[in-house]
Structure 1
Amino acid sequence: MMEGFHGMDSLNSAREILKSSIEKSRNVAIAIQETGSRLKETSDEVAFLQAAIKKMARECAVYEIRDPIDRTLGPAAAVLKVLDVVRELQDSLLTTDPRTNLHPYLANVKRFQEAEKLLEDNCRLVVLWLDDVMQLLKTIQAADDDWYLDNVSKVMKTFMALQGRGACACQNGGVLGYALDKLESAYVHLLTDYSSPFPAQEYYEDYSSVCYFPVNFIQDLRSITEVLAAKNRLHRCISIFAGVRSANVQATLQSLSTDYVSIQLSEFDSVQIVEGHIDVWDKHMEFCVRHLLQMEYKLCNEVFRKAGSEVWTNCFAMITSQCGFNDIFNFGSSVTKCKKDAIKLLMLLKIFGTLDKLRLSFNQLFGGKSCVEIRNHTRDLVKRVVEGTYEIFRELLTQVELQKETSPPPDGSVPRTVRFVTEYCNQLLDYDNSLLLRRILEIHQEWNNTRLEEGLLFSEISNIMGALELNLESWAKKYDDSALSCLFMMNSCWYLCNNNSETKLGEVMGHSWFWAKEKSMEYYVALYLKESWEKLLVVLGEEDLVLFDGGRAIDRDLVKKRIGMFCDAFDGMYKKQSKWVFLDEGLRLNTCHLVAKAIVPSYKSYLQKNLPEFDMGNSVRYTAESLENLINSLFQMKLGKFEGVNCTDMLGVMKNDVIDHFSSTPAAA
């Protein structure tokens, strides 16, 4: 048996019912004792009346009332026997507790009801026959007719009083009413004994830990319900049942840390405020619908089935509305009210996915007349999600195009917008997301009686990437330094190729797209070297170095001057390009290798050819080795800038900075 639920604040109402029942029983006790004594007196009076009737029968042999009197004696005797049974059952109902021995108590309640009914029926027969006697006596008009009439009238009043005691027994203060109150109290105890919140730490791991109820518990509830319903107390059963069970579900949900549902959102808020709660909301919804509410649905059906489907579905609707499920459900609706941005589309897909996988459960649980309100809320939420998703999706291309007016990174690195868009497109093309997005697009087209464009998702993604490439070309032209512009395009082309080679986005763009990007890389690498490092070699010219025509003597001062000029130019180039970065370490090392390959061998050869070895140490600022070491230290990623972050995780890092660029209002550069 589950642990009791008495200590929980949510069951205060149940405890109040118990306290009320106890107080009521005290007040009724005195009335019950008086009823017992009156019942004994009534029984004695009936016995006396039966004897009087027999005496009257003997004395009235001369009259025509003999036959009616004889017919009256049988029912009158039956009344006496039934009164004995009623008195015995009354004592049992008043002195025993249904919680300790429920089924015998229920049986006695039913027997008491049957005995009261039998008493009423027999009294009705007696009254009918005595009425015949009264009519005959009135026609005889004997001298002592008044004496007979008085006695018959007295007997009739007694039986008429007994005939009406059945209704009194059911009223407050009556024996049966008191017994039914005790059954209600037992009903509360039974429900609370089998109601306990489920451990929060277990529901994520194993839904089977949500146990169902033992057969005897359901049978006991059903038995009490049937008895109370027979006496017009079904509404009390439903109220008690719904109160206890909804409090139990509410306590379970509160143990799952659902505080996020209280977050207030408006059209000016970003979905990032609650983004971290969407996945948790999905799990809470699934657990609540498929397990908690499903269990309550089955229990309502089994306990109130005989009362009709409208009764038990109404009880389930009461539990649903009182348990806090509406607060969790409405959290999804609040997300749809947030400001339009790209991340919101992904959140809407998650919400739609949650509703879609729970669709069959929703149809089963909330299909009754009593659940019209939640069905309407569900339809409204689906409509908001579909329309919001479609609207944001069709605006993505425009939002990417608007970024053309922004400025590129000053260090030539890959713009965050580029990384965001590519990662975002990959998320849209994820298998689950793409299925949900296609489904939403189909629904939207059906609602608007239009035909869905074939391959709309893929074509829109291709258009977005095309717009992104145009943005790159526009941004590259904004650099004053042509070498930096080339480095920027090297960075961007490498990122587009390397980061998407084995992704869904790569599949959509195709091999020709990758081939074009690789060719662009080669072009910009060659142009970068030409526009920057290769220009340094012009200083290391051989002209005018020979002192005499036809001689071999070298002008050492001119050599040293030119080497100094080269080193000065190198220092200036190094200082400027040390502020530039490559996002990828492999690309950085490869670029450094190409730079070193372009100038170090020529520099080394120039030194070896034009300066003796003994003059190197004092006249040369950089050796070939130190020059190469400096080159290899270039383009380092600055500490703290995406340090230790994989490209696949870049979306989460970047969106705080670029999210406003993809809202319904264009962001400033």
Structure 2
Amino acid sequence: MDSFDDVANDLSSVENGTDNDEEVEEEGEGEGEGEEIPVANVVSDYNVIIDALPSGVINDLHEISKRMVGAGYGKECSLAYSICRREFLEESLCRLGFTGDGKASVGGLSDDDSEVEIDKWIKAINMAVRVFYPSERRLCDRVFGYSSGTAAAADLSFMEACRVSSMELLNFANGIAMGSRAPDRLFKILDVYEAVKDLMPEIEVLFADQYCLFIRNEAVGVWKRLGESIRGIFMELENLIRRDPAKAAVPGGGLHPITRYVMNYLRAACSRPTLEQVFDENVVPPVGVDRSLSSSSPLAVQMAWIMEVLESNLEAKSKIYRDPALSSVFMMNNGRYIVKKVKDDELGSLLGDDWVRKHSAKVRQYHVNYQRASWNKILNALKLDNNNLSPNVASKGMKEKLKIFNSQFEEICRTQSTWAIFDEQLKEELKVSVGGHLLPAYSNFLVRFQNIQDIQKYADKHLKFSVEDVEARIDGLFQGTAVSGSGRK
């Protein structure tokens, strides 16, 4: 019977396609040293099986493995075989650009690098799980055979061949999951999560035997940790919104940058269908969420809760404005923006029509608050007395009212011409609403004023605005810039 060393050397020689003599070793010595491994083009069709070795070589390996297993050297045979195949797998992944150097696990990737490395990793793990590992499984079965006596050696060989590369791939994903939970990392982590999720059926089949079970369990664990990381990012987003300080007021009551950032972020996030599955795995709703959404999906509840946190933050910021009317304009602008971003988007489908109606009503209430704070004093000044007063008393009272109107109207128009309304439709609605209340009241006042005895000779002195002038000044309201800071609308 051949010794183990002799048979193991034969196994290695046959797999490498050479005889085990010194002459060949000397010729191959140093071959390939210092050569850079070329990066291969990635295939898009994974429905392929690689025949890594010629049929004749596989038949020779089968005979050798059968002899070794029969001689009681099954583990040693698996070890010798798997070392060669492991190197092939690692080189194949390296050709795809994945080096498995562990940078992701220690946060060693910059933002720019991580996007590139994640893209390489996705291509590598797809090729590994869908092409390389199934091909290795097939090769192991052909080399060791399908008999009950060699099945364990085949399973052990497959595990040892795939162990290092599979763990490097999973460690990369785990490093992404355990990294920073800054909101801007969401989409990178979603890419990794989706890649693992899509491959789980293949992983569960490939690594189903007793030797490979730990690989399958690690893949499941990484998948769950990626989901936890994604949910954690939304918790961090909540904290960032809460901590955003109410410092300087946005000029003219325009859109606050945090409103644009959060709403564009949520729209982009909800465009990823996978996100709903991530939150379906976590059925505990945030504390204090609107009970009307209790029957909605966990993702809808999470989105509504974040916007509730945003609205609370905006209300705190609105208190910076000393003018209650400007505070209402600020809330109207930001509230209208939120509703517009939700409607006609995946967010609207998630939150439902009731949510949209409720928040549209809030915007209308801010509109009413603005009207009251800005124009009620002027409208009160234009109210006509029905008492039968003497002409002199009536004339004096009307002139005083007109003086108050002129002063207040001039001040409001001067101030509010610099205020901002981001939405053109809302801007027109406000102007129409102001004109609808003010113009009839002012017209009636002028008719009464001009009918007072002996008032005509003083009319030019007291009448500063015609009805047309008032209408033109109303049309000049809200000319300020509505968007503060930079970013997408």
TM-score (norm 2): 0.64
CA shift digits 1:447-488 (9 cap, x unpaired): xxxxxx986725555555555444444443443111111112
Q: Deviations over 1:206-226 (max 9, x none)?
A: 335x56339xx5421222214
> Equivalent residue for 1:292?
132
CA distance in 2, matches of 1:301, 1:477: 73
The one-letter code of the counterpart of 2:365 is Y
Q: 1:516/1:373 Cα in 2 relative to 1: closer, same or farther (>3 Å)?
A: closer
* Map 1:563-642 → 2, pairs under 5 A: 565=407, 568-569=410-411, 572-574=414-416, 578=418, 580-595=419-434, 627=473, 630-631=476-477, 634-638=479-483, 641-642=486-487
Summarize deviations over 1:419-452 as a string: whole Å, max 9, x none: 555566664696432223213559xxxxxxxxxx
Give the direction of change, closer, same or farther, for the CA distance of 1:606–1:281 in structure 2 (3 Å limit): farther
Alignment of 1:113-132 (within 5 A): none
**SS class of match (2:321):** coil
- After superposition, what is the alpha-carbon deviation per residue over 1:507-540, rounded to whole angstroms, capped at 9, x for unaligned? 5554444333333333322331342356567889
Does 1:224 pair with 2:67?
Answer: no
The equivalent residue for 1:519 is 361
Aligned amino acid, residue 223 of structure 1: N
Residues 177/289 of structure 1: CA separation in 2 closer, same or farther (3 Å cut): closer
Say whether residues 1:483 and 2:321 are aligned partners: no
Alignment of 1:235-314 (within 5 A): 238=81, 241-242=84-85, 245-254=88-97, 262-263=103-104, 265-266=106-107, 274=114, 281-305=121-145, 308-314=150-156
1:142-161 counterparts in 2 under 5 A?
Answer: none
> 5 Å matches for 1:59-74?
none
- Aligned AA for 1:206? D
Deviation string for 1:305-330 (max 9, x for gaps)? 368233333443344245x4533321
Alignment of 1:1-400 (within 5 A): 186=17, 200-203=40-43, 205-208=44-47, 212-213=50-51, 218-229=54-65, 238=81, 241-242=84-85, 245-254=88-97, 262-263=103-104, 265-266=106-107, 274=114, 281-305=121-145, 308-321=150-163, 324-341=165-182, 351-371=192-212, 374-375=215-216, 377-382=218-223, 384-385=225-226, 388=229, 399=239
Query: Structure 1 residues 510 and 563, CA, compared in 2 at 3 Å: closer, same or farther?
Result: closer
1:262-297 CA distance string (max 9 Å, x none): 34645x999998478656644543333122322232
Within 5 Å, which residues of 2 pair with 1:346-495? 351-371=192-212, 374-375=215-216, 377-382=218-223, 384-385=225-226, 388=229, 399=239, 402-403=242-243, 406=246, 409-411=249-251, 412-419=253-260, 427=269, 431-441=273-283, 457=298, 462-495=304-337
Mapped partners of 2:142, 2:433: distance in 1 = 79
Q: 1:490 to 1:429 in 2, by over 3 A?
A: same
Larger mean Cα displacement after TM superposition, 222-231 or 398-407: 398-407
Give the alignment's Cα RMSD to 1 decimal.
5.6
SS at match of 2:51: coil
Q: Is this contact kept in 2: 1:396–1:464, CA < 8 A?
A: no
Deviation at 1:490, TM superposition (A): 1.2
Paired AA for residue 143 in structure 2: V
Q: 1:184 to 1:588 in 2, by over 3 A?
A: same
Matching residue's letter, 1:516: K
Counterpart Cα distance in 1 of 2:297 and 2:441 = 55
1:482 aligned partner, one-letter code: P
CA distance 1:240–1:398, change in 2 (3 Å): closer
Q: Tell me: CA distance 1:628–1:369, structure 2 relative to 1, closer, same or farther (3 Å).
A: same
For residue 58 of structure 2, what is the amino acid of its counterpart?
R
Look up the equivalent residue of 1:222 and give its one-letter code: I
Alpha-carbon distance change, 382 to 299 in structure 1, aligned in 2, over 3 angstroms: same
Is the alpha carbon distance of 1:331 and 1:220 closer, same or farther for their aligned partners in structure 2, counting shifts above 3 Å?
Answer: same
- Counterpart-to-counterpart distance in 1, 2:280 and 2:101: 30
Give yes or no for contact 2:259–2:310 (8 Å, CA) kept in 1.
yes
SS at match of 1:636: coil
After TM superposition, give the deviation of residue 333 of structure 1 in Å.
0.9
Quick check: which one's helix share is greater?
1
Structure 1 residue 357, shift from structure 2 partner: 2.8
Deviation, structure 1 residue 498: 2.5
How has the CA–CA distance of structure 1 residues 421 and 269 changed in structure 2, closer, same or farther, with 3 Å as cutoff? farther
Please give the secondary structure, in 2, of the residue aligned with 1:308: helix
How far, CA to CA, are the matches of 1:273 and 1:407 in structure 2?
35
CA contact (8 A) 1:282 1:354 kept: yes
Larger Rg: 1
Q: Distance in 1 between matches of 2:434 and 2:95?
A: 65
Provide the rounded CA distance (Å) in 1 between the counterparts of 2:359 and 2:79. 75
Residue 532 of structure 1: SS of its match in structure 2?
A: helix
The offset of 1:238, in angstroms, is 1.8
CA contact under 8 A between 1:534 and 1:599: conserved in structure 2?
A: no
CA contact 1:408–1:415 (8 Å) conserved in 2: no
Q: Offset at 1:361?
A: 1.6
| In structure 2, C-alpha distance between the alignment counterparts of 1:211 and 1:568, rounded to whole Å | 81
Tell me the CA shift for residue 620 of structure 1: 8.6
The answer on whether the counterparts of 1:261 and 1:327 sit within 8 Å (CA) in structure 2 is: yes
1:277 to 1:527, Cα distance in 2 relative to 1, 3 A: farther
Residues 234 and 265 of structure 1: is their aligned pair in 2 closer, same or farther, counting only changes over 3 Å?
Answer: closer
CA contact under 8 A between 1:282 and 1:351: conserved in structure 2?
Answer: yes
- Identity between Structure 1 and Structure 2 (%): 20
**Compared CA separation, residues 628 and 486, structure 1 to 2 (3 A):** closer
**Cα offset, 1:500, TM superposition:** 1.9
Which stretch of the first structure deviates more once superposed, 483-492 or 513-522?
513-522
The letter for the 2-side match of 1:294 is P
Cα distance in 1 between the residues matched to 2:432 and 2:83: 80
SS of match in other structure, 2:476: helix
Query: Contact 1:413–1:488 (CA<8 Å) still a contact in 2?
Result: yes
Gaps of 5+ in 1: 1-165, 443-452, 544-548, 647-669
Number of residue pairs aligned between Structure 1 and Structure 2 = 434
Conserved 8 A contact 1:560-1:620: no
